[in-house]
Chains A and B, each alone.
Chain A
């Protein structure tokens, strides 16, 4: 209680009427990019206090997951951070593989890296172009979205879907990268850096943009760690924690890449960190594509990986496995794992408890956005309303991830 009082000013009602006004920002407001409500206490144009209300699109994924066979949970993870759905999907597949004790082959790992880095780029493209929009530069947004479209085309080529991708399977991918996928990725590798350069020329050293973002919504490294920040928001504050390097998964240890860091933890640093991460991701995709080993695109896990359709029609065993998987009749061994991947917004963790049944006994999603969004009032206190909007978009809070 003491801490609450220290953080939130207690004002008696008469003084309140005289000095402050209450502003309801959200739940639906064009500037908040999603369903967020902030009840702001304003002193003129300055924010004195903010209280967030979340849960408007809560869909009870953790509960639903306890009643679904493992392969049906992948579509649920799509809807967490829907700007980088493939990372969530593949993170979930890797969690299950960790529980089962399967070690994936290098080709699958590299294919996964390519897909996950594409998703990271898509995520950062949206976030950074939206920072531009919120500071008044709509132009960059349009160009960046054109390039995001290229990434979505690649998803579509790989898995048939665009936004909620449901990409890959437990044990690998449902099909190999076609030549057209490879070609589209190569096209992206050529086209995207050009647009990134244009975008950076537009904003990075732009006086107006710098004035709007430098020292806006800053947070110290110590506070950021205390609030369990992760991802670009933590790295912008100067802490070099990246799951890809700290606890490498999917053979990230094979690659040489840089983790960009900020200093002040403000909106500008978050923007720059994301911008640099896009370039690093491009580099990762390039080297993964060049070194893509030959081999099978899925592992031999008949309990989880659907057999090819023609075999289902002609072989008894495949038919049995197909039936068992689709009907969710696979018992999963007892165990408990925590697996984290570096999502678009930070450490996306899956805490999975299995009691030997066909569904998870407990599945908890560690959603980075949910955890660091609680620092929002602290970051905007004392700033003006327009800065709060920018801070929010630079934190890249995604409603789906927030509410699970």
Chain B
């Protein structure tokens, strides 16, 4: 099995759901339409042996039309192929289906993504904050929140080129 085979299989099965294919980085990267992500992950797991969910995390591109991203890393342990799936969501509708039914490991990873980025995983059994305190009212990893309080005046960073 190689990247071409995976691409061909996915294109056959989900003709209009694979939005972008990129082989230029360290592994095969595909952008998937948000309503099909669970089907694609399930297909990859059952038919193409991607039985191991390596990681699931969020990423925020404030400049993009669809700023919120969810990144899945799947691993085919038999043929040793790593695969990166991306789904992009809008600020107004940050909903995506959960993968907990497919991978139990997704449970906390999705909670972490929700906690940090406010991405809501529909159907998740227990979608509450995991690392931050419950009463926090924002999602701290989004780019609009700087690391420090921007109104702070006792510290001048202009010489430090950051």
Alpha-carbon separation in the docked complex, A228 to B100 (Å): 12
Q: How many angstroms between the C-alpha atoms of A167 and B131 in the bound complex?
A: 28
The segment out of A111-119, A173-181, A203-211, A364-372 that lies at the interface is A364-372
Binding site for B on A (CB under 8 A): 1, 3-4, 7, 54-55, 58, 60, 62-64, 66-67, 69, 98, 223, 225-228, 239, 241, 246-247, 327-329, 335-340, 347, 349, 351, 353, 358-359, 361-362, 364, 366, 370-375, 403-404
One digit per residue, 1 when the CB lies within 8 angstroms of any chain A CB and 0 when it does not, for chain B 75-89 equals 001001010100000
A248–B62 alpha-carbon span in the complex (Å): 36
Tell me the nearest residue of chain A to B22, going by C-beta. A336
Min distance, Cβ A219 to any Cβ of chain B, angstroms = 11
Contacts of A373 in B (CB 8 A): 108
Chain A residues within 8 Å of B116, by CB: 62
Which residue of chain B is the closest to A239 with respect to CB atoms? Answer: B77
Contact with A along B95-107 (1 / 0, CB 8 A): 0000011011101
B53 partner, pick from A228, A361, A364, beta carbons under 8 A: A228
Within 8 A of A (CB), among B52-100: 52-55, 57, 59-60, 71, 73, 77, 80, 82, 84, 100
Contact in complex: B108, A404 (CB < 8 Å): no
Cα separation A356 to B54 with both chains bound (whole Å): 26
Dominant secondary structure at the B interface: loop
B37-61 contacts to A, CB under 8 A, are 51-55, 57, 59-60
Contacts of B162 in A (CB 8 A): 67, 69, 328, 358-359
- Select from chain A the residue with minimum beta-carbon distance to B80: A246
CB distance from B54 to the nearest CB of A (A): 6
B36 at the interface (CB under 8 A from A): no
Structural contact, A351 and B51, CB atoms closer than 8 A: no
In the complex, the answer to whether A328 meets B161 with C-beta atoms within 8 Å is yes
CB-CB nearest in chain A for B103:
A226
Residues of chain A within 8 A of B57, CB atoms compared = 351, 364
Compute how far the CA of A9 lies from the CA of B1 in the bound complex, rounded to whole angstroms.
43
Query: B123 to A1, Cβ gap below 8 A?
Result: yes
Q: B55: which A residues are within 8 A, CB to CB?
A: 338, 349, 351, 364, 366
Q: How far is the CB of A59 from the nearest CB of chain B, in Å? A: 10
Evaluate contact between A64 and B108: CB separation under 8 angstroms: no
The answer to whether A404 touches B26 (Cβ under 8 A) is no
Task: Considering the complex, give the chain A residue whose CB is closest to the CB of B102.
Answer: A226
Known contacts A63-B140, A329-B161; A351 and B71 CB within 8 A of each other: yes
Number of interface residues, chain B, beta carbon within 8 A: 43
A15 smallest CB distance to B (angstroms): 22
Given that A1-B125, A4-B126, A98-B26 are contacting pairs, would A347 and B141 also be in contact in the complex, using a CB cutoff of 8 Å? Answer: no
Shortest distance between the CB of B147 and any CB in chain A (Å) = 4
A54 touching B130, Cβ below 8 Å: yes
Report A-chain residues with C-beta under 8 Å of the C-beta of B104.
223, 226-227, 374-375
CB distance from B149 to the nearest CB of A (A): 13
Q: Does B7 contact A (CB under 8 A)?
A: no
With A362-B59, A364-B57, A403-B131 known, 5 other A-B pairs at CB within 8 A are A1-B123, A3-B100, A4-B125, A55-B132, A336-B26
Contact B100 A225 (CB under 8 A): no
Cβ 8 A contact of A241, one of B77, B125, B129, B131: B77
Query: Is the beta-carbon distance between A62 and B141 smaller than 8 angstroms?
Result: yes
Q: A63-B141, A328-B160 are in contact. Are A338 and B125 (CB under 8 A)?
A: no
Known: A228-B52, A351-B71. A338 touches B130 (CB 8 A): no
- Judged by a CB distance under 8 angstroms, whether B150 is at the interface is no
Residues of A within 8 A of B140 (CB): 60, 63
CB B107 to nearest CB in A, in angstroms, measures 6
Complex CA–CA separation, A3 to B101 (angstroms): 8
B27 within 8 A of A: yes
Contact B125 A3 (CB under 8 A): yes
- A337–B103 contact, CB under 8 A? no
**16 A-B residue pairs with CB within 8 Å:** A4-B126, A54-B130, A55-B131, A62-B116, A69-B162, A223-B104, A225-B52, A225-B77, A228-B105, A338-B55, A340-B54, A351-B57, A358-B161, A359-B162, A364-B59, A371-B109
Say whether B131 contacts A58, CB under 8 Å.
yes
